[in-house]
Structure 1
Amino acid sequence: MLKKRIWRIVASAFAVALLSSCSGTKQATGSADGKLPVSVTFNAMAEFVHAVGKDKVSISTIIPNGTEPHDFEPKVKDLATLSAAKVFVYNGLDMENWAEKAVQSAGNKSLVVVEAASGVTPIKSGETGENGQYDPHAWMSLKCAQTEISNIEHGLIKADPKNTAYYTANSAAFQTKLQQLYDTYAAKFQSAPRKDFVTGHAAFAYLCRDFGLEQNSVEDVFASGEPSAAKLAELVNFCRTKQIKTVFSEEMVSPAVSQTLAKEAGAKVETIYTIESAEDNKDYLTRIKDNLDKIYASLTET
């Protein structure tokens, strides 16, 4: 309820700010450099928009790097770009529960809104309450990423039809790279002696669905709180029983519990990417490949 009250205040303030901004002169008219102005929610969406739009788009990201997207509550200044954007891209699947109201408050009649995960078969989060019923991490899956890229392609074309061929070609090229990566690792994971790994944050369910794997995580889908002593003991027993040698930790989630688990289980800790924020100056494909390499290595450790 508190989040809802906070959001009503933010939305009202945002609407007032827009109404007072020179009688709508901030309506989307294109950026000064002629590029299509696109507002996105977080880093993975920016990566996908850049893959399709390249030098034809100007991207602004609402959730700052270093901020945990699951906990993000927008302020008026965070949403200001929506009034001047031509396209707004968000993931969906309960990742940005403020997105719909933000679009309504922006009053930008020419705004093309893209829910990137539309069409993805959702995985239940296993949670109830304000976080949402679905696991939002579809961008971590190479198969779901193809759907997201396609949706973004259609959104950019709708906003900028004169560059249709450009967006279509870029989308096809990126989807080919995604498919090639999928094909390579599908064969590798099929022959892996184990199929389960342990992470700090349950962000890999869609990736697991791609390859027939299973994640066991210290924190839940929304990284909301540390595990109980009983849960930690269960994970320690799981690691020992399965002879898990690596516990993965994510940059956006505190590594302390992962480190404790690894120490108790006699395992090492390695960092893995969730692509919720910019990390190590690496692009999407590089980070996903790095993840797949590390996960595969953990499944073949003896």
Structure 2
Amino acid sequence: MKKWSGAYAGLFLVLAFLLSGCVSNETAQTSANKQNGLHIVTTFYPMYDFSKNVTGKHGQVDVLVPAGTEPHEFEPTPKDVAKIQNADVFVYNSDAMETWVPKLLKSIDTSKVKVVNASEGIKLMEGISEEEHASHEEQTLDPHVWLDPVLAQKEVNTIGKAIRESDPAHKQDYIKNEDQYISELKQLDQQFRSVTEKAPRKEFVTQHAAFGYLAKQYGLTQIPIAGLSPDQEPSPAKMGELQKYIKSKGFKIIYFEEVASPKVAETLASETGAKTVVLSPIEGITKEEQDKGEDYIGYMQKNLEALKQTILEK
């Protein structure tokens, strides 16, 4: 028994040493972030890009959801939670998108971490109401506000305000950065308006009902195959209705997103003689793409080019 007790004691000391090392590393990393300016933790790519454009050279901006991971399905790890707890600012899109955030906030000291709901003040639209799309009750509201360049400006304003309040010493730099980025988003808005205002066709078919805000802003109508979550699939009856509608309207393109499986869109396309084209919800951009200069605005411009193939068709 004494030998076993000695073994357990030794094991306890090893574990204690390892744990203390982890805590020390986490504390050291946090201290380093503080010295380098603000440490901002964001949930997924658009929140990261918006925050980074405002922050500029001041501080560090991290993103939790890895590129290629569907944000609708993401759940934070203990390491992710620790990052948020040690951040100066935590930015997320909305409770309708990051459904895990309200529960997580119960463990966050908001006197130390400024929490930013980027869509605060924006009235969220109701999501798809078909019964077969209602399996995700937490997503009855449509969270995809960032895909509307006008609402994206409001999110940037909300993020910018929180960053200025967290680091007033660099307030003027943040204001300058925000104004510059808002100017770029306004140009993006004008690019969409110049195309959509003269478009002879106002409807487009998409696998994922992510483009409701964009469609509303520019007088378009999205015809979604599935609901707000990309993993939802339509019933056979719904697929039959869509086939008839697509054929009757002569749609030649069905849009899908790069992160989710394109299976449903491909099936519908093969049955209607259409082809599939990417229309991105911009939920994740790889580091390699970012290194090549890809960003939110660039992807939105690609989306516009993709939409042209449908809405400019006579």
SS in structure 2 opposite 1:143?
helix
Aligned-pair identity in percent equals: 34
Q: Unaligned 5+ residue runs, structure 2?
A: 1-18
Aligned to 1:89: 91
Distance 2:270 2:138 in 1: 31
1:221 Cα deviation (Å)?
A: 0.8
- Secondary structure of 2:94's match? coil
Q: Which residue of 2 aligns with 1:36?
A: 38
DSSP-derived class of the 2:36 partner: coil
Number of the residue aligned with 1:79? 81
1:262 aligned onto 2:269: yes
Q: 1:260 to 1:86 in 2, by over 3 A?
A: same
Deviation at 1:87, TM superposition (A): 0.2
Say whether 1:204 aligns with 2:211: yes
Q: Distance in 2 between matches of 1:199 and 1:233?
A: 16
Contact 1:185-1:292 at 8 Å conserved across structures: yes
**Structure-2-length-normalised TM-score:** 0.84
Letter in 1 for 2:214: L
What displacement does 1:71 show?
1.2
The correspondence for 1:287, drawn from 267, 275, 299, is 299
Detail structure 1 runs of 4+ shifted over 4 Å in the superposition: 24-30
Contact persistence 1:138–1:144 (CA under 8 A): yes
SS at match of 2:122: coil
2 CA distance for matches of 1:155 and 1:122? 21
Per-residue deviation, 1:21: 4.9
RMSD in angstroms over aligned alpha carbons? 2.2
Which residue of the partner structure matches residue 46 of structure 1?
48
Whole-angstrom distance in 2 between the partners of 1:145 and 1:32: 28
2:313: which partner in 1? 301
CA distance in 2, matches of 1:101, 1:57: 27
Note the 1:51-62 alignment, pairs <5 A: 51-62=53-64
Q: CA deviation at 1:29?
A: 5.4
Which is strand-richer, 1 or 2?
1
Give the Cα separation in 1 of the matches to 2:142 and 2:41: 23
In 2, distance between residues paired with 1:100 and 1:173?
32
| SS in structure 2 of the partner of residue 74 of structure 1 | coil
Within the alignment, does 1:246 sit opposite 2:278 as a pair?
no
**How far has the Cα of 1:223 moved from its partner?**
1.9
8 Å Cα contact 1:245/1:268 also seen in 2:
yes
Larger Rg over CA atoms = 2
Q: For residues 161-194 of structure 1, what are the alpha-carbon distances to aligned partners after superposition, in whole Å with 9 as ceiling and x for unaligned?
A: 1111111111111111111221232132111111
Q: d(CA) in 2 for partners of 1:138 and 1:174? A: 17
- Indicate the SS of the match to 1:31: helix
Stretch deviating more after TM superposition (236-245 or 271-280): 271-280
